[in-house]
Amino acid sequence: MRLISVTVELGGPYREEHGQWHMIRLPEGSTVRDALRRVGVEEELYIVVVRNRRQSSLGEALRDGDNLVAYPPVGGG
Amino acid sequence: MNGTWLPRSLPRTDGGAKADGSMKFFSDLFPEGCLHGKVIRSPHPRARIMSLDVVRALKVRGVECVLTAKDVPGMNAYGVFYQEAPVLCHEFVNFVGDPVALVAAETEEQAEAGAEAVEVRYEPLPAVTSMEEALKPGAPSIHPKGNVARHALLERGDTGSALARAHLVVKNTYLTQRQKHMFLEPEAGVGYYDQEGKLTLLVGGQSPYRDRLQVARSLGIPKEEIRVVSFPVGGAFGGKDDVTVQIHLALLVMKTKKPVKMVWTREESGAAGYSRHPFKIEMETGVNEDGKLVANRALLFADTGPYQSFGPAVLDVAMETINGPYFVPNYVVDAHLVRTNNGISAAFRGFGAPQANFAIEGQMNEISEKMGMDRLELRRLNIWRSGEEGNFGLRLGDCSGLSECVERASKSPLLSMRGHVVKGKPWVRRGLGVSLAVKGIGFGTLPDYPEASVEVDPGGFVKVGFSNPDYGQGLLTANLQVVAEKLGLSPEKIVVEDADSGVVPDTGSSSASRSTYTAGGALLDACDRALFALRKAAASELKANPAMLEYRSGRFYVKGRGGASIGLFDVARVMSRDGGRCRFVGSFPVPRHPSTVAGSLEIPHFIYSFAALLGEVEVDVLLGKVEVKRLMLYADVGRVLNPTLASAQCDGGMIQGVGYALMEDHIYEGGHPKTKNFSTYLVPCPTDVPTETHTEFVSSSEGTGPYGAKGVGEIPIVPVASCISDAIHDAVGVRLRELPMKPERVLEALGEPQLNLGPLDVLGDVDV
């Protein structure tokens, strides 16, 4: 099975819990959700996911070289 | 660079309707057949719920439902950072105002009667009513993990040694109070199922998309089934950043299947609404013989109430700004977010920065006095400089605006004021205060990817969509101007859509001085995308290469081909022939540093706004009353897009700062709020407003901001309290380090005023 490489950055509390930067390899056809689970993020509701600098959904299929950023919409000041 | 529409003082797009009263706020709406919702709240700061009986309430005429914790289908908790505030309390209540049950009835009076008929039996428990109590060994624990919700430590260098070697060390304790937002429209909204069965919430909030997620999570419903609209909002200032009525409204609509309206009373807002965090800050600051800061040790405690809400981030901003806009080679910042059974503290304009500013600027002014140095000269020696190493080990970006603020302030006519005596009023002394301020724009190192939309309508107008609600700042107008400038269109041709999660993209919250910066950035990207697509379509119509087209003021022209051209809206008409929409969503990845300072959540910010403030006060030494006569703000907020609106923001911020400095104080006694209404909670009235507030914006342009803009929402409030404190000292020789500086505190500090002040010279040489 062909593998794709995806970088994942976690922000806010996810960063504290699971680390900030992750470079992972996933089977082709994997989704944003698969990538986030791989790095330990199970949350599916209170989360903002950005794929290649655009807001994304968990079900979107990933491509080789994709960049993901995921964070709860916590906000600061 | 000046454009056609920037900078320009266009009137507010929403100004007319707000001024003539025709704008309907959500509390003005009465949907047909709507029920009225009421919340039954804890009267105790801490108690166990022994029993909760709704039988009698259900028999009250007109009551449709009474809901308790067991009726909450989801996780029964909410909170921006940590989901720990209950939607409805189950076993314990943790502050006066904690929600216990909900009632919906046909009329407001029936809802009130129903609420009164709910029988709750409590077992009062020992409450933690101050940070000192909370931190005592053996104190009742409000949370399973203890009463310190967050402890953070930032360190650099060897602070102990540097302080030991310092030429002068100033050590003080600063106390700041709980400030209420006191927006004109209390927390309010209307909920209903729309024709498509979507749960729709029209609520005065600051972040419709995040509110939607909080409702979805707490009630266990898919976010796609919820729509949140957050415009218009009758004031917010941070007090509507976390959820207020949203989840309760949604729950009542879900249970009754009817429209429901909920408007908190002012007293309810006073108890259950959010406040600014009270802080206790102990600070030890050292300088060398030249006046260069060598070390700062700061111990911070912030009262967040029982639930954290925005507390973790507020603590971060206080930590980031605790050294002011000054380079400090050695520091320890030891910060604690403390739980108490007082009301919930959360976001408030400035977000921890005004509290930190009160301390560090107090230190700077005392140092200048003891060193015999000019107050601005001391600051000039220590301020951040572009390209130099900052306090967090990173090279600083453009800080030239900060230097310019200091230079402009040093040339202010206010500095020519001489003497302290007011002619004809021997009991009044005049003084001049100085302070600087810094506030980050946006969320620091937290990721932030706002989106916004532009739709070119064949009907001859452009629709602009972003979800940061305008709750009075003027950002609707500023962003409209950004699009007008970019597309070369008259503002009359641009319509801004409401902050509606069902219509516009997710631009994030209106907070952190970020709204124009982020929405403007995303809108520019949306415009670029629109022009790219429209150019291709225009080229096809004009039978030209897209590269040969030039766009000017709403038309595409073929270069070198006489008058061949096509209008923007004509192209949109062509593109929409098959029923499609010319709608383009843009994004703006907010620039941030790649790594976060260890021990912090979001430090450092990528860009900052800066200010220098001069303030003139008159102190009545017999009554202790302080009158602020003039405030002159020199501000770096990036490029100013709409000078009138930006100045108005600064006026509002400074006046709110006067309230914070002199009178506003949400008092809790034994865990009970004592100042829930305007009758007891004092805010500045017209007579309290300075005779003159004046803002000068320094020349500045932020490379990453829309047409050079940064943000203006918070910086004007940040330096006010410290500046007024310094002015009081200049007038009467006493330094007040506790807010608010109300008359009794001034009198107490003065002791016997005549003894302290020397002879009162009625023939003083100062004109009034």
What would you report as the CA-atom Rg of chain B, rounded to the nearest whole angstrom?
A: 27
CB nearest to B446's CB, from A12, A45, A55: A12
Is A77 a member of any domain? no
- Contact between B682 and B663 (Cβ < 8 Å): yes
| Residue B758 pLDDT grade (very low, low, confident, very high; cuts 50, 70, 90) | low
Structural domain count of chain A = 1
| Residue B574 pLDDT grade (very low, low, confident, very high; cuts 50, 70, 90) | very high
Distance between terminal CA atoms of chain A? 45
* Residue B767: per-residue pLDDT: 44
Is A76 a member of any domain? no
Nearest residue of chain A to residue B310 (CA atoms): A76
Q: Phi and psi at residue B349, in whole multiples of 5°?
A: -25, 115
Is A17 a member of any domain? yes
- Is residue B274 less than 8 Å (CB to CB) from chain A? no
* Residue B762: per-residue pLDDT: 43
Nearest chain B Cα distance for residue A64, angstroms: 21
Q: Which two tokens stand for residue B49?
A: 């719920």
pLDDT digits (tens, 9 = 90+) for B174-225: 999 999 999 999 999 999 999 999 999 999 999 999 999 999 999 999 999 9
Does pLDDT of B765 surpass 90?
A: no
B444·A11 Cβ contact <8 A = no
B506·A48 Cβ contact <8 A = yes
State chain B's mean pLDDT as an integer: 96
A48·B214 Cβ contact <8 A = no
* Residue B697: per-residue pLDDT: 98
Chosen from A8, A15, A41, A45 to mutate, greatest number of chain B CBs within 10 A: A45
B509·A75 Cβ contact <8 A = yes
CB nearest to A77's CB, from B314, B451, B508: B314
Q: Considering only CB atoms, which chain A residues are within 8 Å of B241? A: 75
B451·A45 Cβ contact <8 A = no
Q: How many other C-beta atoms can be found within 10 angstroms of the C-beta atom of residue B228?
A: 30
Q: Is the dihedral of CA B593, B292, B385, B316 positive or negative?
A: positive
Nearest residue of chain A to residue B348 (CA atoms): A77
- Is residue B602 less than 8 Å (CB to CB) from chain A? yes
DSSP per position, B503-568: TS-----S-TT-HHHHHHHHHHHHHHHHHHHHHHHHHHHHTS-GGGEEEETTEEEETTSTT-EEEH
Instruction: Average the pLDDT over B334-341 and give the result.
Output: 98
Instruction: Average the pLDDT over B364-373 and give the result.
Output: 98
Element housing B663 (H / E): none
Q: Which two tokens stand for residue B370?
A: 């003891």
Instruction: Average the pLDDT over B457-471 and give the result.
Output: 97
pLDDT digits (tens, 9 = 90+) for B518-547: 999 999 999 999 999 999 999 999 999 999
Q: Is the dihedral of CA B273, B444, B450, A13 positive or negative?
A: negative
Closest-CA residue to B517 (of B472, B471, B468, B484) = B468
DSSP per position, B670-718: TTEES--STTTS----GGGS-SEEEEEEPP---TTSGGGB---SSTTTT
A75·B207 Cβ contact <8 A = yes
A11·B213 Cβ contact <8 A = no
Determine the Cα–Cα distance for residues B506 and B96; give it in Å rounded to an integer: 34
Residues of B (555-594) whose Cβ lies below 8 Å from A: 585, 587, 589
Chains A, B: CB contacts within 8 A come to: 93
Determine the Cα–Cα distance for residues B322 and B302; give it in Å rounded to an integer: 13
- Is residue B316 less than 8 Å (CB to CB) from chain A? yes
Is A15 a member of any domain? yes
Tokens 């641009």, residue located? B494
Q: Is the dihedral of CA B45, B50, B56, B58 positive or negative?
A: positive
- Is residue B525 less than 8 Å (CB to CB) from chain A? no
* Residue B74: per-residue pLDDT: 86
Nearest residue of chain B to residue A53 (CA atoms): B589
Does pLDDT of B759 surpass 70?
A: no
Determine the Cα–Cα distance for residues B323 and B245; give it in Å rounded to an integer: 37
pLDDT digits (tens, 9 = 90+) for B299-313: 999 999 999 999 999
Is A19 a member of any domain? yes
* Residue B546: per-residue pLDDT: 96
**Chain A residues with CB within 8 Å of chain B CB:** 9, 11-13, 15, 20, 45-46, 48, 50, 53-55, 69, 71-77
**Hey, what amino acid is at B637?**
V
Beta-strand pair B279-287/B293-303 = antiparallel
pTM over 0.80: yes
Instruction: Average the pLDDT over B88-105 and give the result.
Output: 98
Closest-CA residue to A66 (of A35, A42, A44) = A35
CB nearest to B316's CB, from A46, A73, A76: A76
| Residue B48 pLDDT grade (very low, low, confident, very high; cuts 50, 70, 90) | very high
Distances (CA, A) of B174 to B123, B358, B474, B738, B741: 36, 7, 34, 6, 12
Q: How many other C-beta atoms can be found within 10 angstroms of the C-beta atom of residue B297?
A: 21
Nearest chain A Cα distance for residue B313, angstroms: 5
Is A26 a member of any domain? yes
Does pLDDT of B141 surpass 70?
A: yes
Task: Give the list of residues 6+ apart from residue B359 with CB closer than 8 angstroms, or none.
Answer: B172, B174, B281, B283, B298, B322
* Residue B761: per-residue pLDDT: 47
Instruction: Average the pLDDT over B324-352 and give the result.
Output: 98
A75·B241 Cβ contact <8 A = yes
pLDDT digits (tens, 9 = 90+) for B542-573: 999 999 999 999 999 999 877 899 999 999 99
Give chain B's domains with CATH numbers: 31-125+184-235+240-272 (3.90.1170.50), 352-443+597-750 (3.30.365.10), 449-587 (3.30.365.10)
DSSP-derived letter for residue B318 is: H
| Residue B754 pLDDT grade (very low, low, confident, very high; cuts 50, 70, 90) | low
Does pLDDT of B386 surpass 60?
A: yes
A77·B449 Cβ contact <8 A = no
Nearest chain B Cα distance for residue A9, angstroms: 9
Does pLDDT of B479 surpass 80?
A: yes
B451·A71 Cβ contact <8 A = no
Determine the Cα–Cα distance for residues B583 and B310; give it in Å rounded to an integer: 35
Is A36 a member of any domain? yes
3-state helix, strand, coil in chain A (%, to 5): 15, 40, 45
pLDDT digits (tens, 9 = 90+) for B652-703: 999 999 999 999 999 999 999 999 999 999 999 999 999 999 999 999 999 9
* Residue B755: per-residue pLDDT: 45
Q: How many other C-beta atoms can be found within 10 angstroms of the C-beta atom of residue B13?
A: 19
* Residue B757: per-residue pLDDT: 53
Residue A40 domain boundaries: 3-71
Q: Considering only CB atoms, which chain A residues are within 8 Å of B315? A: none
Q: Which two tokens stand for residue B220?
A: 């266990």
Average pLDDT for consecutive 10-residue bins of chain A (77 residues)? Answer: 96 93 98 98 95 96 98 88
Does pLDDT of B766 surpass 70?
A: no
* Residue B578: per-residue pLDDT: 78
Is A41 a member of any domain? yes
For residue B556, the cross-strand partners are B551, B566
CATH code of residue A50: 3.10.20.30
Chosen from A46, A57, A58 to mutate, greatest number of chain B CBs within 10 A: A46
